[in-house]
């Protein structure tokens, strides 16, 4: 009887051992399968990373400045954007007249289908640069709540608008261009008389008036009054009344503050190509391919005033002696210095060419593991 009991117990132990062995084998097979899947996923992610970070170079024709090449190199510490925040982006380009704005807006329109975003022109009545308070509120709500059109670039000749004043949780990204104030004045003076090559058959409001800028300044005409220089400062100052008072010192300081606090990037027309290059590096969701388009396309030469007479030195001296020109020039120099600083942080010079810098930060010591 004892022998029979021992044999039964031994047989039961053997069955249990066999079950445990089979279970362990099945678990190993399952774990091996999962490891293979994980390995495939890691390999796929590495391939995608290599594809995204593969080096490429775009040469760039820069207007009146050093050419920039865009170069992204693969690096161990490359930081990739995560999530879907890019698809919620709103960019506002409150374009200043006669600063190359049509050329730059044209680049956005050419890229919108390729990069899958929308472009919307904000057309204000009678080209008014300031909105009523009720229109400001409507505009803010439209921009933040029109989800179907995101990601989107809005552009129009409107003064800066601080979205944080209107109780919205997200604010848009502002970008802009400004131009040497004297060059902008000369361009606008002849533009309203002779038009441009973009719409050559459109009759401008001063058509037929052949008076040169030199003649206007000599006789003290209203069309060349230094007050016409007062435009770039108020565009960046905003919608407040004092922004639009020519020569207002507070407006100048507010414009500078807004450039630093609210604008992602402000470039200068004279370095339009460099502006495009920095935007492609910073906002690839919108501007991927912009450098190549700028170089190979016709947008950098899209719109030119049909007829301009270079002003005489005495004309320039008279304009530059005005308080308003000095303030507008101070603002221009401030913006140009800031833009060149941003550009120097984005690109490095290698053998006479500007190459985009790799990331200079990475994440580590992430806890809990």
Q: Which two tokens stand for residue 87?
A: 């698809």
Which distant-in-sequence residues (6+ apart) come within 8 Å of 194 by Cβ?
A: 204, 207, 305, 306, 307, 308
Is the pLDDT at 352 greater than 90? The verdict is no
Residues 288-346: pLDDT tens digits?
999 999 988 765 545 666 577 899 999 999 999 999 999 999 999 999 999 999 999 99
Active-site annotation holder among 58, 71, 129, 157: 157
Q: Which residues of the chain form beta strands (DSSP E)?
A: 57-58, 70-71, 90-93, 118-121, 152-155, 173-178, 263-268, 347-350, 353-356
Across the range 230-236, mean pLDDT stands at 97
Helix pair 181-194, 323-346: axis angle to 10 deg: 110
Give phi and psi for 171, each to the nearest 5. Answer: -120, 150
pLDDT of residue 208: 56
Is the pLDDT at 43 greater than 60? The verdict is no
Q: Is 84 a catalytic residue?
A: no
- Out of 146-155, 206-215, 342-351, give the one with best mean pLDDT: 146-155
Is the pLDDT at 197 greater than 70? The verdict is no
pLDDT of residue 247: 97
Active-site annotation holder among 58, 71, 129, 155: 155
Is the pLDDT at 150 greater than 90? The verdict is yes
Higher-confidence residue: 365 or 37?
365
Task: Return mean pLDDT, the chain.
Answer: 82
pLDDT of residue 365: 93
Nearest CA to 283 among 263, 298, 268? 263
Beta bridge partners of 350: 353
Q: How confident is the model at residue 28 (pLDDT cuts 50, 70, 90)?
A: low
Q: How confident is the model at residue 358 (pLDDT cuts 50, 70, 90)?
A: confident
Q: Is 157 a catalytic residue?
A: yes
């Amino acid at each position: 009887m004892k022998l029979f009991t021992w044999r039964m117990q031994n047989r039961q132990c053997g069955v249990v051992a066999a079950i445990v062995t089979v279970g362990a084998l099945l678990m190993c097979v399952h774990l091996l399968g999962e490891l293979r899947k994980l390995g495939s996923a890691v390999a796929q992610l590495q391939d995608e990373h290599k594809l995204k970070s593969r080096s490429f170079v775009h040469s760039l024709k820069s207007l009146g400045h050093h050419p920039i090449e865009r170069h992204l190199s693969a690096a161990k510490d490359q930081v990739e954007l995560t999530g879907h925040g890019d698809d919620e982006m709103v960019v506002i380009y409150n374009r200043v007249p006669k600063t190359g704005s049509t050329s730059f807006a044209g680049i956005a329109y050419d890229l919108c289908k390729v990069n899958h975003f929308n472009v919307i022109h904000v057309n204000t009545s009678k080209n008014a640069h300031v909105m009523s308070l009720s229109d400001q509120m409507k505009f803010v709500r439209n921009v933040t709540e029109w989800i179907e059109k995101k990601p989107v670039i809005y552009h129009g000749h409107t003064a800066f608008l601080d979205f944080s004043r209107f109780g919205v949780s997200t604010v848009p990204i502002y970008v802009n261009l400004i131009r040497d104030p004297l060059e902008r004045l000369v361009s606008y003076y002849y533009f309203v008389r002779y038009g441009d090559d973009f719409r050559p058959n459109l009759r401008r409001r001063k058509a037929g008036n052949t008076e040169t800028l030199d003649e206007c300044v000599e006789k003290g005409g209203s069309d060349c009054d230094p007050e016409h220089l007062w435009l770039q400062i108020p565009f960046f100052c905003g919608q407040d009344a004092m922004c639009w008072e020519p020569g207002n010192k507070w407006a100048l300081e507010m414009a500078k503050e807004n450039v630093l606090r609210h604008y992602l990037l402000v470039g200068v027309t004279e370095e339009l190509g460099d502006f495009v290059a920095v935007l492609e590096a910073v906002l690839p969701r919108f501007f991927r391919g912009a450098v190549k388009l700028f170089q190979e396309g016709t947008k950098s030469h899209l719109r030119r005033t049909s007829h301009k007479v270079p002003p005489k030195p005495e004309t320039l001296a008279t304009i530059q002696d005005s308080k308003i020109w000095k303030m507008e020039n101070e603002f221009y120099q401030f913006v140009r210095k800031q833009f060149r600083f941003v550009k120097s942080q984005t690109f490095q010079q290698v053998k006479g060419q500007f190459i985009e810098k790799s990331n200079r930060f990475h994440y580590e010591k992430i806890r809990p593991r």
